[in-house]
Chains A and B, each alone.
Chain A
Amino acid sequence: MKNKVIVIGGGTAGMEVAGQLAKHDCTVTLLERSAETGGHVRDWYHLFPDRKDSREVINYLENLIRHKSISLFTDTDVNDIVRENDFFVVRTSDGKELQADAIVVSTGFDLFRSERKEEYGYGIYDNVISSADLEKMFRNDEIKLQNGNIPSKIGMVHCVGSRDEKVGNVYCSKLCCVTAVKQAIEIVKRIPEAKVFCFYMDIRMGGALYEELYKEAQQDYGVNFIRGKVSEVSQDIDNKLITKVEDTLTGRPLKIGLDMLVLMAGMEMAESGQKIALSAELDTGENRFFKATDLHYGSNKSNKNGIFYAGTCTAPMNITETISHARAAVIDVIDYLNDRSN
């Protein structure tokens, strides 16, 4: 008899896990709480560092889960996970009780809700938007202010909800820096006369080809990088965003009037994931993400035998890392199932 695996969360990691497990002769149930699979990638336009259209990734993932052994339930929330003897029972919000031999949790992340940093004025001032909002503008090909004008001075605020003790997130989301660089380039490409300012604490360009992109942004696109945290934003009578920031390299306080401010929202443990952590008694770390049994060689294993993690529910990751982490989870699941049947 085929082994049954339930994958919770149909984003990049969940789809990759489901597809690979199906290839390896498992029956997979993929549960997705929203109406569509694909997760956050669906909201993104281009991916760094090569500006690949995110739809290519979505296409790849959708093809992967088009498999006879995979059954997909969308609009399905998980209420709780119970272990009964040798198998798990997953109860869903629509009253289903699903059985499985193993479980992969791939609940992903939530984008930091920028309203929580009220001093930046998200949801209060017209032209303060989040990085996700900007991606939508790219997709619809209209980078416009609320009044329909084209912005000419745009600020990007790094570390919104990351490395910020006041909101309870001390960790670095690690992808916002490169996202800002990518988006800054994209803006200048579309509006060549636009001036873009990035307000950063540290620039963290740790991934492959990131540093090159950062250099390109400065040399070829004239993006200004100002080292300093934005302290507060207010709006003047012409709807200009008066942004106060300290340039810590020159040691001067600055006040810049901007047309648009883009907040680089960080990544947080998904709320749905926290719910599962509580009901299934899964360990979480200080940063609220799931805590794997070992950072080095057990990053897919949970504290409950038979439950595994894949993707950004354990830490912020980019697409490349998410897919690798998902594939690694598949190996752990297969190992577990083999050990059990022997």
Chain B
Amino acid sequence: MQFDPFVIPFNIGLYFILIYAVVRCVLWFRDLSRADKLRLQRGFFGRPFAKSLKEIFMESLIHRKILKSNFRLGYMHMSLAFGWFLLILFGTIEADIFGTRHLNPPYKAIFFKFFNPEHGRNGIEAFYAFIMDFLLAFILSGLLLAVIKRFSSRVVGMKKTTRLKTLDKVALTSLWLIFPSRLLAESFTSAAYDTGSFLTGSLGSVFASFLPVNELAYPFWWLYSISLGTFFILLPLTRYMHIPTELFLIFARNSGIRTGDHYGAFTEIQTYSCSSCGICIDTCQLNLSTGITDIQSAYLLKGIRNNEDVKDIANNCLMCGRCDQNCPVGIELTPIRMIMRREPETKSGDNGFFEKYFPSHVKIPVPKTNGSLVYGWLPAVKTTKAEVLYFAGCMTHLTPAIKKSMIKILDAAGVNYNFMDEEGGVCCGRPLMLAGKYKQARELINYNSKIIKQSGANILVTSCPICYKVFRESYYLNIDVYHHSQFINSLINEDVLRLRFLRKKITYHSPCELGRRSGVYAEPKEVLKHVGRLQLTRHEDENAYCCGGSLGNMHISYAQKKKIASDAAKDLTRNNPDILATACPLCKKTFSPVTETPVADIAEIVAEAIILSHPDKKNYSKVISLKEPVDISE
């Protein structure tokens, strides 16, 4: 058996990281809820497994999503991940075929050149050596980009890159050293034996002309091994933990596990799957408009990993979900942030060295209402029976034009409805949830639930996407919840609402809570197409802006919110629409003061287009059939 002491650091590192990864996965699995464990077990023997393998190949190795959005950055990630993967794969095959024996220990593949210096002189061997050189060159080109990115992120098409902690820097250095040291070690050995392909061979000959390559080769093989070993040992303490964790995450997600509002093993897996690539910083409007660059999701997750107090980071966010859409790993960033806004049950303490590898995390339980009620003084309300319940919501009461339009539409369509908060109602609870006050929110939810149940309605229509989201996800009601844009769309489709064409150019701004956070993109646009000419912008659907008026952020000033709003409005009205349409009273309120273009809610536009006296007008009669909204769970 071929052996040399220099392979020891590599071996220690490799076996350490393999054992560590297994132990960590077992611990995570143990912490999953019973239902999630079952999901995972089922997923292992079903389609999710194949799907995960495909996803791991496409995303963890090829980095398809990053390639699509930013080629240079994608190339950097792909060359390092996919290149390294191929190098190991081909190295193993090489060692197996051309080595002295079959089924070698891993180090034989990694240090093949050292043990087989004569390899690659001619024929198939030379061709194989060419492939190996080519892969090394591929990785090195990515590494070059990575080094440049550290010093100037703009080169790879990024405006910002993440800041690192000390351990990350040590790990980063060892990662950077791996491939250059391999290149040099192989070049020196190749020069000594006059082998090597286009890269190591030619570089070796150059070195041989002025360097004592025979003596130099050995120390560089040591350096190569030490870099690998250091990298593996430090990996669990750094952001590179994302490499093994991401595999587990992809499998868990494909098995149907979601974050929910519980801080548990899955949240932790997601936290460790973040590679700090910084794409979330680039898409964040707080960065783009107000230059705030220390609160984005990459920093939130890093803070959670390091057991820091992340309250300020968690609270300083518009909760628009743009980063979720753009995260190449697909981490549920905004739901995690929602959890981090709540009060933790235990405080995080300082971790010892061992605990750094197996950190204990804070517990953040889902609060329940118990004991004394904060809103116990709210009066009991009696409702009349109705088929459809209309809940305008606080923000709609502050934008009465929308409320008035909705009443006109409901009346024109002959809907048998009951205006639940006509006299002013109780808040839906979402603003409190956004502020981390789940317990208080639950009280309001219970209060409203009683009223809704009493009414006997089958359908709840709301004008506010903020209410819509919470009604749909956090109320345990046997009732269909619709945003008014969906309801109007169904009224049009059922032909109980006749509209004329307004001959206006309309640009639609998709509200965060309705679009990205609830998955309703199509219906509002369908409605608008009935009444006007819909102009598309570069910010449709998932790419929509946040208006900046978010209830989710109480940290930034009005001036900063206004800056975000006016930047967004400016971009949205670039092709001079007659109306900037939205489907959210808060978006309307935020955009109105910052743009010359009239801003209107869909309901207002539809109300203007209503043809009132229609001769054979059918009245809205039965519960209409609507497609189930897309399920995106929080």
Contacts and interface: CB of A to CB of B under 8 A. Distances in A.
Interface in B377-407: 397-401, 403-404
Nearest to A231: B398
A233 to B, nearest CB: 7
Interface stretch (A61-69, A161-169, A198-206): A161-169
A79 to B, nearest CB: 19
B558 A119 contact: no
Closest 3 CB pairs of A and B: A119-B398, A165-B558, A121-B400
Interface string A116-153: 10110101110000000000000000000000000000
25 contacts: A116-B592, A116-B593, A118-B399, A118-B400, A118-B588, A118-B589, A119-B397, A119-B398, A119-B400, A124-B401, A124-B404, A125-B400, A165-B559, A167-B593, A168-B558, A168-B562, A231-B398, A232-B397, A232-B398, A232-B400, A233-B400, A234-B400, A235-B400, A242-B423, A244-B424
Interface string B49-75: 000000000000000000000000000
Interface in B542-558: 558
Nearest to B398: A119
Q: Which of B398, B399, B559, B562 has the largest number of chain A CB atoms within 10 A?
A: B398
B592 A118 contact: yes
B399 A119 contact: yes
Nearest to B397: A232
B593 A168 contact: yes
Nearest to A161: B593
B387 to A, nearest CB: 21
Contacts of B422: 234
A119 B588 CA distance: 12
Interface of A: 116, 118-119, 121, 123-125, 165-168, 231-235, 242, 244, 255
Contacts of A232: 397-398, 400
Say which size band chain B's interface belongs to: 10 to 19
A123 B399 CA distance: 12
B587 to A, nearest CB: 13
A166 B593 CA distance: 9
A166 B558 contact: yes
B2 to A, nearest CB: 74
A124 B607 CA distance: 13
Nearest to A286: B559
A161 to B, nearest CB: 10
A156 to B, nearest CB: 19
Contacts of B424: 234, 244, 255
A233 B398 CA distance: 8
A332 to B, nearest CB: 33
Nearest to B590: A166
Contacts of B588: 118
Given A118-B592, A167-B593, A234 B558 contact: no
Interface string B564-599: 000000000000000000000000110011000000
A298 to B, nearest CB: 27
B529 to A, nearest CB: 26
A121 B589 CA distance: 13
Nearest to B394: A232
Contacts of A116: 592-593
Interface in B396-448: 397-401, 403-404, 422-424
A254 to B, nearest CB: 12
Given A166-B558, A167-B593, A118 B401 contact: yes
A268 to B, nearest CB: 11
Contacts of B398: 118-119, 231-232
Contacts of B403: 234
A245 B400 CA distance: 16
Nearest to B592: A116
A136 to B, nearest CB: 24
Contacts of A168: 558-559, 562, 593
Nearest to A119: B398
A116 B591 CA distance: 10
Nearest to B399: A118
A121 B592 CA distance: 14
A231 B592 CA distance: 18
A233 B593 CA distance: 20
A125 B398 CA distance: 13
Given A119-B398, A119-B399, A124-B401, 4 more contacts: A165-B558, A166-B558, A234-B403, A235-B400
A242 B422 CA distance: 11
Nearest to B561: A166
A124 B400 contact: yes
A167 B401 CA distance: 18
Nearest to B557: A165
A123 B604 CA distance: 13
Interface string B598-618: 000000000000000000000
Contacts of A119: 397-400
A327 to B, nearest CB: 36
A235 B403 CA distance: 11
Contacts of A165: 558-559
B604 to A, nearest CB: 10
B397 A234 contact: yes
B115 to A, nearest CB: 72
Interface in B33-88: none
Contacts of A244: 424
A168 B401 CA distance: 22
A165 B401 CA distance: 22
